[in-house]
Structure 1
Amino acid sequence: MKQFYSNGKLLLTGEYFVLEGAKSLAVPTTCGQDLTIKSIKEPQLIWQSFTNIGECWLEAIFDLPKLRLISADFEATEDGGNDTLAENLMKILQEVRVLNPTFLNSKNGFIVKTNLTFPKNWGLGTSSTLINNLANWAKINPYQLLEKTFGGSGYDIACAQNNTPILYTRNGVNPFIEKVNFNPVFKEQLYFIYLNKKQNSREGIQRFKELKGNLTSEIKHVSELTDAFVNCTNLKEFEKLLINHEQLVSKTIKLKTVQEKYFSDYFGQTKSLGAWGGDFILATGNADTPKYFKQKGFETVISYQDLIL
C-alpha cells in the first residue's frame, strides 16, 4: 500500500497580487489530506473521498485502462447536490495521464482513499492537497497539473510540500520558493477566525483581473510588506503592516476591509486571507479574542500555534 500526505495552506500576505508575481508569505497548516493506494486484481479504479469525520463525500468507479467513469455516488449536500464531482475528478486523472501516459495504464486496478483532516468548507486546500498527492503518486510536476486543472498561483502547492513558512513568487511551473523562519515573538497574540462560509477563490480572482489595471508599484509594495512581515518583532508594528496591506488590497479590488465591514468595534486588528469575503481571517488580540468573535457568531477561533506548522 502506498500513502501520500500534503499540508493545508494559508496565505498571510499577497492575496490576489501573488498571481501577478508579488513575493508572498504562505504558511502550511497542521491539517491536510492524505491519499492511500491499494492494488487490486480487477481493472478498476475505486475512488473514495472522506471528510475529517469519516463521512464519504464522493465515491466513484472508473474502468481501467480507459479511465471511463462507470458509477458515482456523492454527498447530496455537496456543492448543492452537484453531480459533476466525479466528472471533475475524471478530468483531473486524465490530465495526470497526459503528463504521465503510464498512469493508471495497467491491467490491474486500485482502491484509492483520500482523507481530510480539516472540515472541507474551511478552504485550507482540499483541491491543492489532492493535486499534490496525485502528482507525487504519478511522479509529475504538481504546478503543471494545477495549471491544467484548477489554475491559481501555486502557493498552495508549495505549502503542501513544505513544513515551514515560505516566501513564494510565481514563475510559471517553476516558482521561486524560499523557506523562512517566520516565528513571531507575539504569535500567542495571533488568531485565525473562520467566517462561516467558503469563498470561491476563482470568483475573487476574476474580480481582481477585471479591476487590476497596471499594478507595478502595488506589486513592489506587497513584496516589501511581505519582507516586513517576516522581519517584524513588535506587535504594534505588525498591526500597522496589516492595516497597510488591507488598505492596498481594498483600494485595488474596491471592497471594504473585513474590519470596516464586520469588526469596526474590535480592539485588535484583522486581515483577510486569500480571496476576500470568506474562509479565514487573521486577528491580533488576547485572551478575550475568542469571546469577541464567538459573540458575533463566529465559533471557529483557532490560535496561531494550533493551526500553523
Structure 2
Amino acid sequence: MAEKYYSNGKLLLTGEYAILDGAMGLAVPTKFGQSLEVFSHKQPKLVWKSFDEDSSIWFEADFDLDGFSILNTSDKETAETLQKILTVARIENPEFLNTPSGVQIETRLGFPRKWGLGTSSTLINNIAQWANIDAYTLLSKTLGGSGYDIACAHHYQPLLYRLDLGKSKVLPLNFHPPFDQSLFFIYLNKKQNSRKAIANYRKQTFNKKKLVDKINDITQSFLEAQRVEEMESLILEHEMALSTILGMPPIKQKFPDYFGALKSLGAWGGDFILATGNEKTPAYFKDRGFDIVIPYSEMVL
C-alpha cells in the first residue's frame, strides 16, 4: 500500500513582508493543497512525477538513489531545486531513501501552480513528513522564507504566526469574521516571485520596530473586527503602511472605481488580493478580465 501525505495551501491576510522582521501575521490554510504519494518502482532509482490540478504532468525527473544525481528531467532548474531539498532531507535523516529498492513519487496539486497558494511550501512539508524531519528546518536550509506557509500546511484552522529570534511561533485560533460573505479573493492573473519581492523589501531603509508595532496592532484589530466597515479601515491602514516602505502604490489604485476595499496578499503586484464587497463583486472583476473570484468560505478551511 502506498504512503500518502497531504499539505494545505496558504494565504497571509496580514503581515506580508513585515512578518520577516518579527511582525505577527494572520494566516489561513486553504481548501486547496498538494498530495505526495510514495510507490515502489522496479528499477533502483527515484522516479518523480508532478501533476497539475488538471492531472497533466508538469514536471518529471529520475534521480540516482545514492546521491540524488539527476539522471534525466523535463526541467533542469526544478530538478536541481528538488535535488537540493532531497539532499538536505537525507542530511537531517540519514535513513531517508537509504534503500536499494526503486521508489516512485507522484505529487498532485489541487490548485493551478500560478495561483501562488504554496506549490513549494506544500512540497517541503510533504517531503518533511515523508522523511520524518522538521519542516521548518528543511525550509530554512533550502528555499528560505518566514515559514508561515509551513504552519498553514499542517494546521487546519487560521493561525497567528511570528518569528521570535528566528524561531517559529504559531497560535491556532478561531477566526470566523461575521461578515465573511462580504469577503472575496481575486487572482490578478500574474504569478509573483516571492524571493525577488523579499529581496526588494530587504533593500529598503526604514524603522523596522515602528512597522512591526503598526502591523501587530492592525492584525489584532483584524481579529476583533465585527463589521466589514471596520475591516475596510484596517485594510486601508495596512496598505498605506507598506506602500510607503515598498515605494509601490496600493492595489486599490489599479481599481479606483471599485466600491469596496482591496488588500494585497503576499508579494505585491500579483497572486491573490482580498476584497470586501457584495454580490456585484464577481461581475466587477470579471468585466475587467479577472475571472477567478473566490468567496472567502470557498477558499479558507
**Residues of 2 paired with 1:40 and 1:287: CA distance?**
51
The aligned residue for residue 56 of structure 1 is: 57
Percent identity, please: 48
The aligned residue for residue 308 of structure 1 is: 300
1:258 and 2:254 correspond: no
| Alpha-carbon displacement from aligned partner over 1:192-227 (angstroms, at most 9, x marks no partner) | 000001000111111111014331011011011111
**Residues of 2 paired with 1:172 and 1:53: CA distance?**
41
1:53-202 correspondence runs (5 A)? 53-74=54-75, 83-171=76-164, 174-202=167-195
SS across alignment from 2:133: coil
SS across alignment from 2:235: helix
- TM-score relative to the length of structure 2: 0.97
Moved over 3 A (4+): 171-174
Contact 2:67 2:87 survives alignment (8 Å): no
The aligned residue for residue 79 of structure 1 is: none
SS across alignment from 2:289: coil
| Alpha-carbon displacement from aligned partner over 1:261-297 (angstroms, at most 9, x marks no partner) | x111100000000010000000000000000001111
Contact 2:158 2:173 survives alignment (8 Å): yes
**Residues of 2 paired with 1:156 and 1:237: CA distance?**
27
| Alpha-carbon displacement from aligned partner over 1:88-123 (angstroms, at most 9, x marks no partner) | 211111111111111111111211000000001000
The amino acid across from 1:31 in the alignment is F
| Alpha-carbon displacement from aligned partner over 1:112-143 (angstroms, at most 9, x marks no partner) | 00000000100000000000000001111111
The aligned residue for residue 259 of structure 2 is: 267
The aligned residue for residue 207 of structure 2 is: 214
Unaligned regions of 5+ residues in structure 1, if any?
75-82
**Residues of 2 paired with 1:263 and 1:94: CA distance?**
45
The amino acid across from 1:118 in the alignment is F
Contact 2:8 2:29 survives alignment (8 Å): yes
Deviation at 1:41, TM superposition (A): 4.6
SS across alignment from 1:170: strand
SS across alignment from 2:210: helix
SS across alignment from 2:175: coil
Contact 2:261 2:277 survives alignment (8 Å): yes
The amino acid across from 1:205 in the alignment is I
The aligned residue for residue 268 of structure 2 is: 276
1:228 and 2:221 correspond: yes
Contact 2:7 2:122 survives alignment (8 Å): yes
Deviation at 1:244, TM superposition (A): 0.4
Q: Bigger shift: 171-180 or 141-150?
A: 171-180
Unaligned regions of 5+ residues in structure 2, if any?
none
Q: CA, structure 1 residues 173+108, in 2 after alignment: closer, same or farther (shift >3 Å)?
A: farther
Contact 2:88 2:141 survives alignment (8 Å): yes
SS across alignment from 2:275: strand
- TM-score relative to the length of structure 1: 0.95
1:245 and 2:275 correspond: no
Deviation at 1:173, TM superposition (A): 6.2
The amino acid across from 2:272 in the alignment is F
The amino acid across from 2:52 in the alignment is T
1:6 and 2:7 correspond: yes
RMSD, matched Cα: 1.1
Q: CA, structure 1 residues 5+173, in 2 after alignment: closer, same or farther (shift >3 Å)?
A: farther
SS across alignment from 2:111: coil
Contact 2:44 2:102 survives alignment (8 Å): yes
